[in-house]
């Protein structure tokens, strides 16, 4: 395994300590994203959606949800799960990039930026500029700050587990992550970290007017969500 997409392409990603964790995780994210859907006629794009077991909640709040996933096995599972859903399509990153200009009212990229190089991230910000309707909103969530990220993530997972009935599985899950490819890839491929000022500057240079949201999407409030509009 040599990159983050193949890490996430495992059938049972070690990132989720069990099925309950995975489902509570995706339900929490879906509920948080729904709060940003301001109209039932909105077209929404979720870029790097992962296993997205609660995508139907988002689809119920908008006109159409396009889900983009780079990992082929995860994408195949999404296509099977949502086959026949009238308001959900599953796309490859290449298909997303070639959607018509001004296609989406809301684009969400949550917990993906840390796996992208600076150049990959800039390329995506340019694609999102094309895809966003005038007045549309880009949400970049779960941005990992440079300091204390691992300790904060572990603590947030334990708290999330305690609140949702999977505390002991979370303890075991953290031990499993220690012996997984996650730490090896972190050393070899690396993770991208941004503080608030660096992210605001990056979004500004990419042509967005942005601000940090009062709270992060999901359970880890040490991480940050940014709201960006075309400037």
Ligand X SMILES: C[S@@+](CC[C@H](N)C(=O)[O-])C[C@H]1O[C@@H](n2cnc3c(N)ncnc32)[C@H](O)[C@@H]1O
Give residues in contact with ligand X (CB under 6 A): 4-5, 8, 29, 48-50, 69-71, 93, 110-112, 115-116, 120
CB 132 within 8 Å of CB 230: yes
Give me the least distance between CB of 36 and ligand X, in Å please: 14
Give me the least distance between CB of 124 and ligand X, in Å please: 8
Q: State which residue, 134 or 220, has the beta carbon closest to ligand X.
A: 220
Give the ranges where 82-205 is alpha helix by DSSP (H): 93-97, 118-131, 149-164, 167-178, 181-188, 196-205
Q: State which residue, 41 or 184, has the beta carbon closest to ligand X.
A: 184
Q: State which residue, 48 or 173, has the beta carbon closest to ligand X.
A: 48
Q: How far apart are CA 221 and CA 219, in angstroms?
A: 6
User: What's the Cα-to-Cα distance from 204 to each of 45, 96, 126, 177, rounded to whole Å?
Assistant: 21, 23, 12, 35
Q: State which residue, 23 or 41, has the beta carbon closest to ligand X.
A: 23
Give me the least distance between CB of 112 and ligand X, in Å please: 4
Q: How far apart are CA 138 and CA 128, in angstroms?
A: 8
Q: How far apart are CA 63 and CA 49, in angstroms?
A: 18
Measured CA angle at 27 (ends 196, 47), to 5 deg: 55
Q: How far apart are CA 166 and CA 173, in angstroms?
A: 10
Q: State which residue, 41 or 163, has the beta carbon closest to ligand X.
A: 163
Q: Which of 39, 46, 4 is nearest to 139 (CA)?
A: 46
Give me the least distance between CB of 145 and ligand X, in Å please: 16
Give me the least distance between CB of 217 and ligand X, in Å please: 8
Q: State which residue, 50 or 136, has the beta carbon closest to ligand X.
A: 50
Q: How many CB atoms within 10 Å of residue 141?
A: 23
Decide the pairing of beta strands 43-47 and 64-68. Answer: parallel
Give me the least distance between CB of 11 and ligand X, in Å please: 13
Task: Give the residue nearest to ligand X (CB).
Answer: 50
């Amino acid at each position: 395994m040599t990159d983050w997409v193949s890490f996430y392409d495992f059938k049972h990603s070690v990132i989720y300590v069990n099925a309950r964790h995975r489902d509570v995780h995706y339900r929490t994210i879906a509920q948080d994203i729904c709060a940003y859907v301001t109209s039932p006629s909105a077209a929404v794009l979720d870029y790097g959606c992962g296993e997205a077991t609660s995508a139907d909640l988002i689809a119920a709040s908008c006109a159409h949800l396009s889900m983009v996933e780079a990992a082929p096995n995860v994408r195949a599972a999404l296509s099977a799960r949502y086959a026949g859903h009238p308001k959900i399509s599953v796309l490859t990153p290449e298909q997303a990039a070639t959607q018509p200009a001004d296609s989406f009212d809301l684009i969400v990229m949550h917990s993906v930026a840390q796996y992208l190089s600076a150049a990959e991230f800039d390329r995506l910000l340019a694609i999102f500029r094309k895809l966003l309707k005038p007045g549309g909103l880009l949400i970049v969530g779960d941005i990992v700050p440079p300091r204390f990220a691992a300790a904060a993530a572990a603590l947030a997972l334990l708290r999330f587990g305690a609140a949702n009935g999977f505390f002991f599985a979370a303890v075991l899950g953290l031990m499993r992550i220690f012996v997984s490819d996650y730490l090896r890839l972190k050393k070899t491929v690396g993770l991208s970290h941004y503080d608030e000022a660096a992210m605001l500057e990056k979004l500004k240079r990419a042509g967005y007017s942005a601000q940090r949201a009062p709270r992060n999407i999901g359970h880890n409030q040490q991480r940050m969500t940014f709201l960006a509009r075309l400037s």
